[in-house]
Structure 1
Amino acid sequence: MKGNPFRGFGYLIRGFGLLTEPGLRSFVIVPLAINLVLFTLAIYLLMQQFSVLVEYCLSLMPDWLSFLDWFMWPVFAILVLISVYFSFSIVANFIAAPFNGLLAERVEQRLRGEILVDDGWKALLASVPRALHREMSKLLYQLPRFLILLLITLIPVIGFIAPALWFLFGAWMMAIQYCDYPMDNNRVSFSDLRSNLKTRRLSSLGFGGLVSLGMVIPVLNLLIMPAAVIGATIFWVEEFAPESSAQIIEQT
């Protein structure tokens, strides 16, 4: 596989380095606020309903499999955590998509040394239909693979490899999720987006894997969305954009 996972890590780290740039701050605040609200709701739901949800899942098992309760409880607990995590991530991505698209656009302008142009709410509203359509494409790509992994997780013995598969799946989906913003701005189709990432698969998995890890770290997970958008845009400009003369600003 081509690419370098450490190079992928670096894009996200550099994304954090640009979060406080004066020309980008206003586009960082909205995704940050959306993450704050939704992750607070997710944590509240888990605190209030976690045991109830796990017990409900166990109640769906036939009585003759009750001897597997000791094994299935942690399995169902992981499934509840994953389901809540993905559900709230999907909602957050739909709400934040237009704002993330604008953030990616401003970052790309900055990286190329172009003048930052603020088109205000008009540009934001014009981007909403395309952004939502693109989010739906990602959801339709993700959902069947998510369900297949759920089935694998529930299969005895084979289910033991599920954690590694979930991590790889999450890393790949995070790479797709955030690299889509700059590529969509440049009219790269969803199928071409996936083809592009496959040509740098290790870099893509490194980037997406670090994003996935960041999302489960308290406080850091609130900043991960805008940082990932910025990092993905740097990834696009440096490795995929057709123009090779982009003025890339290295972060120290």
Structure 2
Amino acid sequence: MQPSGIPGAAVGAGRRFAGGAALLLRGIGLYVRSPGLMLLGVVPALISGTIFVGAYALLVFFVDDLAVAVTPFADDWSTTARSVVRVVAMLGFLGLGGLLTVLTFTAVTLVVGDPFYEKISERVEQRYGGTPDAVEVPFWSSLRRSAADSIRLVALAVLVGIPLFVAGFIPLVGQTVVPVIGAVVGGWLLAVELVGAPFYRRGKGLRDRRAVLKADRPTALGFGVAVFVCFLIPLGAVLLMPAAVAGAALLARRSLGQPITEG
């Protein structure tokens, strides 16, 4: 019975993953139907986006020099071998930079735009019956906790990103498996980060978010990976940040067993 159960479990996980990705689409739908409120969320995203786009552009400009700096062992190799290893190094830097840019952009933007995104998240939940057992959290307390959680998540992303960068030098694996792992790790961290506002309204912190999302990890990953991929698209992070916040409110409700159908 065990072998026959494995495909069924995989199919079920795949469906939940797709269901999580669909929550981002629903968030986009809410964005389109409430442009006045949602466009407020673009303002902090635009400010952060300008900074991070500039930083990533600098990385692209200097990536060749960085690749040379980390591969001195290839100086005496043949031209072809040296070029290959340095191209791999450049791709590794760009991949690591992309991962950290997406995650730090989200963390900084959520902190900078905390009042806007809190309002968006709260308005979404009102559509589906409000927030059960809501607690009143003072603004400055919420901001401090959000900033502290974001710093911890970004630090974790750095710790994970460095081994992925090193693994990027492994032929084939570094160009196929490593980017997938990066998207999965980045997606998970984004999901944990984006559901912060609805969990804070319920008096739940970072540890609670992780525990609740782990109970249905495929759904959380589906949502987070979809957001991660969209944020890699030029201007995607700026334009879709409010929609991601709206979708995260739906993810939080689903993960907590609360309705996400209007009625």
TM-score range, shorter chain: 0.7 to 0.9
The equivalent residue for 2:239 is: 223
Contact 1:112 1:248 in 2 (8 A): no
Larger mean Cα displacement after TM superposition, 75-84 or 43-52: 43-52
Cα RMSD over matched residues? 3.2
Identical-residue share of aligned pairs (%): 25
Query: C-alpha displacement at 1:232, in angstroms?
Result: 0.9
Q: Which secondary structure does the structure 2 equivalent of 1:215 belong to?
A: helix
Which amino acid is 1:179 matched to? Answer: V
1:139 and 2:154 matched: yes
Deviation per residue, 1:159-218 (Å, 9 max, x gap) = 353222222222222222222332233232323322222222221221111112111222
**Taking structure 1 as reference, are residues 7 and 69 closer, same or farther at Cα in structure 2, changes over 3 Å only?**
same
Q: CA 1:107/1:194 → structure 2, altered by over 3 Å: closer, same or farther?
A: same
Aligned to 1:19, what secondary structure does the other structure show? helix
Q: Which residue, 5, 12, 17 being the options, matches 2:29?
A: 17
Q: What secondary structure is seen at the aligned counterpart in 2 of 1:61?
A: helix
Contact 2:45 2:237 in 1 (8 A): no
- Give the superposition deviation at 1:233: 0.6
**TM superposition shift of 1:124:** 4.5
Match of 2:6 in 1: none
Structure 2: gaps of 5 or more residues:
1-8
Between the aligned partners of 2:21 and 2:157, the Cα distance in structure 1 is 23
Shift of 1:158: 4.9
Give the alignment of 1:105-184 within 5 angstroms. 105-113=122-130, 124-156=139-171, 158-160=173-175, 161-184=177-200
Aligned partner of 2:121 in structure 1 is 104
How far is the alpha carbon of 1:47 from its aligned partner? 4.8
- Relative to structure 1, the CA distance from residue 25 to residue 10 in structure 2 (aligned partners, 3 Å threshold; closer, same or farther) is same
Asked if structure 1 preserves the Cα contact closer than 8 Å seen for 2:60 and 2:94, the reply is: no
**Structure 1 Cα separation of the partners of residues 151 and 192 of structure 2:** 13
Q: 1:29 to 1:124 in 2, by over 3 A?
A: farther
1:178–1:229 CA contact under 8 A, matched in 2: yes
Gaps of 5+ in 1: none
Equivalent residues, number: 240
**Superposition TM-score, scaled by structure 2 size:** 0.75
